[in-house]
Amino acid sequence: MNLLRNRKALGLDLGQAAVKAVLLGGNGQSATLEGARVLDCRSEGIIDEEELSRELRPWLERNGWQSQEITVGIPQYLATTQISDFSTASQRSLEDLVAFETQQLAGLSEENFIYDYHAMPAAFGRELPMLIGICRESVVNDRAAPLLANGLRLADLSIAGTALAAAYLDLRPESNRGQAAHLLLDIGVENSTVAIVGGGNLLYSSSLNCGTDRFVQILARELGISAEEAEKEKSRLTINPAAPASPGMRAAAIFESELRSVVSQWQSEEQPDTVQLGLEKICLCGGGALIKGLAPLLAQKFECSSEILSIPNREGQPDPTLVIAYGLALQGVGLSAFNISLAPPQIRSRAHRRRRFPLLAAAVLLLAAITTVAGIRDYRRLENRQANLNRNLQLVEQSEQMIPELETMVAENQLLERLLLPYVEKGNRLRTLTEIIATLGVSRAEIIGDGSNGEFNDVWIVYLADEKSFHAGKEGIGNERDRREREPRRRPPLTPFSADRREDSARTDAGDSETELMTATEIQPWQSFVAAVYTASPEEDRFAQVRRLIEALNQTELLKDVDLLPGPDTVGREDVFRPWLELSSLQNMVYRRFTLRLPIKRIQ
């Protein structure tokens, strides 16, 4: 994420005579120099670390850097680095191997140690070269405590040697591609830091127990002057190989001897193939790199080229004292080639929280924005919903006012429907009666044919009425009062042929006691009919004709479930067949009578 990659870091190199600070900005891929400052402790009258810790924050505040994340360097002589070659292994076994190697480096010491490791690319015959850095926990705490006590934002601690190597690989990226060894030398006041790099790897790092103070001491002794005068004389000193007895050459010879010891130590630990490559270049930085003639002298002695490595200072002039501070700042922005962190866990976690704070702040702002937008959206939605509810409430109130009118209209409509019932039912009954007669005629014709063969009179339908009228015409069943209770306010039985006549009679003789009025709602549609049938059938199968008639009627679209009316239901209606008895006795064949119930399939 760009929010995490884009960050700034301040590299702080706390030297014996000066404090060097470099501010870098990183975007996750490259670093940009944003400022560099040097605090000269001697000119400011700072004589010990306690005074330095008190003056450090005000100095950073004057430069506007007091709120920057700080990465502090640990002098090389206070820490140990080692390059170990491990075979390809899993991450878990690799951590175990590093822990074991760290224990070997710590030896039998009872102190606690802080260590870290960094995997480097395979080179110089090493399959998995691992750079291990280790330092006593007490040293780290002593380095961090004054800074934390003064409220500085300490984010990390690293070793001066790895910072020097990282700065060189960033400033000279072409050195990553070569296989030759380059010796880096940062010359301080009392001590110097040595790092040997090659092929993008840190091959060796150590310290020299000599620095520019060695030159000052020899100058003061040889010239018989004070240390302050010798310090001024050092700035004017030029080392001349043609004058081997000069104080500068004697001091340089001592320095060369110390450096050769370090190189010999590296060669004794390095693989033979790498040692045969020799040194291709010596790069000088630190305050000692300003001594004129020192870099060419070392190049001559070690038979290689030389270079002075520097960083632009506040005035834009190259300053070799800022190189280690630059490497520390690279680790602060996450771009160091050798990321060795010796910060205690509490400092790491605190720095991690500070780096993630912008994400937290952004998340809070985003949540607040989303909540605000959601609140506004919900408020508008509720407003619209309230407006809709108000409109619906008005419609409901208007509807409530219309309910009495609608109820009156419904009552009037129901009254009109009841008034229309007699007329509608009269029309329906006439149509239904006509259809029943036609259906009976068609079904009879299907059974006996057209009558040309003399069988026309084998089936006679002598009576047809709706079932209600049929039962209403029964005689001798109960008294009149019971019949009236079963059928309240019943009019005389109505047949299709007498309906009009009885209606006329009701109109002309309204006072007739036999005429009973029926309300419109009591009029019910016809649901079934009763037909009286004579059939001429042989004795052995007297139900043959009526069975065929029933089957034919059940197959029509008008009737369903046609069947014989049970005997008990015909009791009291012997009058239906009485007029036809004499006519049947005149025939040669014996006629049998049946009463059929004809239910209507679709009731109108």
Separation between Cα atoms, residue 257 and residue 238, nearest integer Å: 19
> What's the alpha-carbon Rg for the chain, to the nearest Å?
61
pLDDT one-digit tens code per residue, 331-367: 999 999 999 999 888 888 887 777 777 778 888 899 9
pLDDT one-digit tens code per residue, 214-263: 888 888 888 888 888 888 888 888 888 888 888 888 888 888 999 999 99
pLDDT one-digit tens code per residue, 283-328: 999 999 999 999 999 999 998 999 999 999 888 899 999 999 999 9
Q: Is the pLDDT of residue 78 over 80?
A: yes
Q: Is the pLDDT of residue 444 over 80?
A: yes
Mean pLDDT throughout 27-52? 84
pLDDT one-digit tens code per residue, 368-421: 999 999 999 999 999 999 999 999 999 988 888 888 988 899 888 888 877 777
Whole-Å CA distances, 539 to 130, 278, 410, 536, 543: 124, 141, 63, 9, 9
Separation between Cα atoms, residue 373 and residue 377, nearest integer Å: 6
Q: Is the pLDDT of residue 456 over 60?
A: no
| Centroid of chain to Cα 74 | 45
Name the residue among 102, 131, 104 with its Cα closest to residue 114: 102
Determine contact, residues 116/133, Cβ cutoff 8 Å.
yes
Mean pLDDT throughout 445-450? 73
Q: What does DSSP say about strands 201-208 and 192-198: parallel, antiparallel, or unpaired?
A: antiparallel
Determine contact, residues 392/36, Cβ cutoff 8 Å.
no
**pLDDT-based confidence at residue 582 (cuts at 50, 70, 90):** low
Q: What confidence score (pLDDT) does residue 495 get?
A: 40
Separation between Cα atoms, residue 161 and residue 113, nearest integer Å: 18
Determine contact, residues 513/491, Cβ cutoff 8 Å.
no
Separation between Cα atoms, residue 4 and residue 178, nearest integer Å: 33
Q: How many CB atoms lie within 10 A of CB 373?
A: 10
Q: How many residues does the chain have?
A: 604
Q: What confidence score (pLDDT) does residue 250 get?
A: 87
Q: Is the pLDDT of residue 156 over 50?
A: yes
The amino acid that residue 375 corresponds to is G
Q: What confidence score (pLDDT) does residue 149 get?
A: 87
DSSP strands (E only) in 394-474: 459-466
First-to-final CA distance of the chain? 81
pTM of the predicted model over 0.75: no
Q: What confidence score (pLDDT) does residue 482 get?
A: 45
